């Protein structure tokens, strides 16, 4: 099957750490015995997925399918949750960890919302890009690469540099992250109509202009109770879904 689809040699062969022996060793013995050539250049064995520190398995009845998870969380959040851990490390699944992943991802999108990125070609000699590449070249070190993204986001927030914002988006794209419109991502999942929220924002602005701060606070708290967080800046008021 492998030869029919990919030829006699693979660049990458992956699977769970529990498959290394005997399955993959057996596969190597058969393939290399038949062809006389190495089966794969690289082998990547991922750690177990765990639920509350127990191995996820059908026998324990503690497993979830991707379809079930995607009913509650968007695909990018799930991807980010996985990338924050090294692929060889155990991955501990829980709603709390996925909620934390989405909140962390929102921090990156918030930086891109505040400072609209310009399109850039990645200069791999740039200090941030070089560290990102070094992390990925060292056994697919996604946790270190993600750390570079957060450091970049901090610099974007400090400097307001659209060039750095562009680099943040471009490096995120290498991991399949940060390619959505920031406002759309931050506002996804709201049960309220966007137009209705905007009306409340305008009413609050009018209350503040009239120095009716009690009413302005009431509107903010009312929206928060409905899962909407208002953020004031020099550019105006934006909103996002609370977690």
Average pLDDT over residues 19-29: 94
Question: How many whole angstroms separate alpha carbon 136 and alpha carbon 115?
Answer: 26
Distances (CA, A) of 16 to 11, 46, 64, 91: 17, 5, 17, 12
Say what the pLDDT of residue 196 is: 86
The residue with greater pLDDT, 193 or 182, is: 182
CA angle (199, 202, 203) in 5-degree steps: 85
> Tell me: the pLDDT tens digits for 215-224?
999 999 989 9
Per residue in 171-186, pLDDT (tens digit) is 999 999 999 999 999 9
* pLDDT value, residue 243: 67
Residue 16: left (phi > 0), alpha (psi -120 to 50), or beta?
Answer: beta
List CB contacts of 16: < 8 A, sequence separation 6 or more: 45, 46, 48
Span of 88-92, 103-107, 130-134, 187-191 with lowest mean pLDDT:
187-191
Is the per-residue pLDDT at 52 higher than 80? no
Residues 224, 241: Cα–Cα separation, whole Å: 9
Options 1.10.8.10, 1.20.120.640, 3.55.40.20, 3.40.1360.10; CATH for 49-184 is 1.20.120.640
Candidate from 107-111, 157-161, 193-197 with smallest mean pLDDT: 193-197
Model-level pTM greater than 0.85? no
CB 195 within 8 A of CB 208: no
> Which residues on adjacent β-strands are paired with residue 10?
40
Domain residue extents for the chain = 1-46, 49-184, 189-241
Q: What's the rounded mean pLDDT across residues 3-23?
A: 91
**Residue 9 predicted with pLDDT over 80:** yes
Cβ atoms of residues 223 and 230 within 8 Å: yes
């Amino acid at each position: 099957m492998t030869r029919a689809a990919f030829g006699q040699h693979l660049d990458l062969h992956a699977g769970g750490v529990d498959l290394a022996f005997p399955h993959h060793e057996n596969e190597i013995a058969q393939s290399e015995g038949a062809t006389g050539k190495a089966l794969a250049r690289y082998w990547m064995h991922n750690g177990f997925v765990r639920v509350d520190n127990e191995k996820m398995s059908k026998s324990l009845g503690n497993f979830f399918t991707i379809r079930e998870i995607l009913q509650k969380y968007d695909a990018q959040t799930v991807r980010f949750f996985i990338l924050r851990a090294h692929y060889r490390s155990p991955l501990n699944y829980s709603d709390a960890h996925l909620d934390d992943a989405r909140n962390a991802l929102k921090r990156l999108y918030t930086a891109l919302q505040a400072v609209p990125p310009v399109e850039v070609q990645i200069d791999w000699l740039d200090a941030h890009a070089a560290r990102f590449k070094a992390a990925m070249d060292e056994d697919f070190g996604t946790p270190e690469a993600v750390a570079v993204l957060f450091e970049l986001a901090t610099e974007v927030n400090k400097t307001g540099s659209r060039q750095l914002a562009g680099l943040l988006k471009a490096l995120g794209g290498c991991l399949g992250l940060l390619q959505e419109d920031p406002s759309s991502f931050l506002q996804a999942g709201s049960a309220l109509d966007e137009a209705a929220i905007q009306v409340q924002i305008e009413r609050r602005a009018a209350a503040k202009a009239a120095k009716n701060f009690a009413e302005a606070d009431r509107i903010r708290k009312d929206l928060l109770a409905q899962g909407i967080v208002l953020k004031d800046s020099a550019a105006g008021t934006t909103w996002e879904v609370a977690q």
